[in-house]
Amino acid sequence: MANNFPTKEQAVVITAVDTLNLQDYIVAIGNVVTPKNILFASRISKNRICIYLTSKSLVDDLVTVHPCIKVKDVDVGIRRLLNPARRLILSNVCPSIPHVIFENRIKSLGLVPVSPMSFMRAGIKDEQYAHILSFRRYMYVQPDDSIILPDSLVLKYDDTNYRVFLTYDDVCYKCKSTGHYANECPNVTSSNQDPNPTVSIEETPRKRQIDDDVSSPEISPLDLSGDTSSKINNTLKKKKTSDSCDSLTPTLDLLLPAQDLLNNTEQYPLNFDQVVGFLDKASGVNDIISLLREYTNDIQGVMNLLYDVYPIVNNKSMKNRCRKILRKIKKAYNPDNLNLIDLTSVTRELGMEVDLSHSSK
């Protein structure tokens, strides 16, 4: 026993309470795992109690079944001393910048790397192109709840400013919570829909008609009683408040979160102002490629741009617009070559539901 040194994976920590002593914690844990399975116990820094058990499996069972125990009528939480490493994803990373630049910057945030940094693949399924890497990298770090991870970092390399976006691999893009991914997000409806929308008749814009033959029924403003008034109210309740606001908000304002990304990097063919102009024109245009060539011939570069902009913008309407235009460009540019950009992996990561099927007619 004297030569058997336990690992940190065999330890749990408990927040210390002033009215309790070390023996109180040991007895409480012993009542759950039996006394013979406790090896070491002591008070440690940050007002915590640390207890080592005989095996990692005991720790797993303890924190899973008993995340909170009662110590002399006081409820205290239990967690692992050493939590599993988390994968940190870096996006919009120029390939020419060495790993060490980012590793040092991450260390300056207080995070402790537990693996070297690596490139991430672009996700192209064709074997001939499977070796191609993306503008994303990853590394594993020790989790630390006391450190708030910034959404992005700006660093200067080779006389150029680059904005790099940071996120943990286990964080949902939509609600920013851990434990699930964007395509399984349970908070989409509650976070994006106003439960009590209030819209006045004068402020509600008309929907754009799809065909000249389709028209909305005209209702006299004087006839607002009885069944007609009820129908109007029901119709207005179905309309989201956000739709009315988004239609009146300029594209420039909706795209502002991506301004630094588009203006502080040379990897995209369009700058911020050009992207705003393009998005304003692209929604209703039929020949998307002709419109795009008015700005640039780098079609693939614009597709990559829209892919990078999507997770940055916060507005749901702008996200949908980026998604639809990306799909439109994809199909128009070369509908028979699905390897230009792997939209399947892109949409899975971003929680986008995009139909990649195309007609052969």
* Domain-wise residue ranges, the chain: 8-80, 86-168, 249-350
Q: What CATH number belongs to 8-80?
A: 3.30.70.330
User: What letter represents residue 209's amino acid?
Assistant: Q
User: What letter represents residue 93's amino acid?
Assistant: V
Per-residue pLDDT tens digits for 253-268: 888 888 877 876 667 8
As given in the structure block, the two tokens for residue 290 are 């002709």
> Which of 360, 359, 287, 358 is closest to 329 using CA atoms?
287
| Residue in the structure block whose two tokens are 């749901």 | 316
For residues 278 and 291, the answer to whether their CB atoms sit within 8 Å is: yes
- C-alpha span between 351 and 310 (Å, rounded): 11
Residues 105-124: b if buried by 16+ CB within 10 A, e if exposed = ebeeeebeeeeebeeeebbb
| Residue in the structure block whose two tokens are 């996700």 | 123
| Residue in the structure block whose two tokens are 């420039």 | 252
pLDDT bracket for residue 250 (50, 70, 90): confident
Percent of the residues in the chain that have a pLDDT greater than 70, as a whole number: 68
For residues 25 and 51, the answer to whether their CB atoms sit within 8 Å is: yes
For residues 11 and 62, the answer to whether their CB atoms sit within 8 Å is: no
pTM score, whole prediction? 0.35
Per-residue pLDDT tens digits for 72-84: 988 888 888 877 7
As given in the structure block, the two tokens for residue 187 are 């908070």
Which of 102-111, 162-171, 322-331 has maximum average pLDDT?
102-111
pLDDT bracket for residue 43 (50, 70, 90): very high
Residues in contact with 339: Cβ distance below 8 Å, sequence separation at least 6, in sequence order: 124, 125, 126, 129
The predicted pLDDT at position 267 comes to 74
pLDDT bracket for residue 42 (50, 70, 90): very high
- Among 3-7, 81-85, 137-141, the minimum mean pLDDT is found in 81-85
Q: Do 86-168 and 8-80 have the same topology in CATH? A: yes
Radius of gyration of the chain (CA): 27
* CATH number among 3.40.50, 2.60.120, 3.30.1240, 3.30.70, domain 86-168: 3.30.70
pLDDT bracket for residue 214 (50, 70, 90): very low
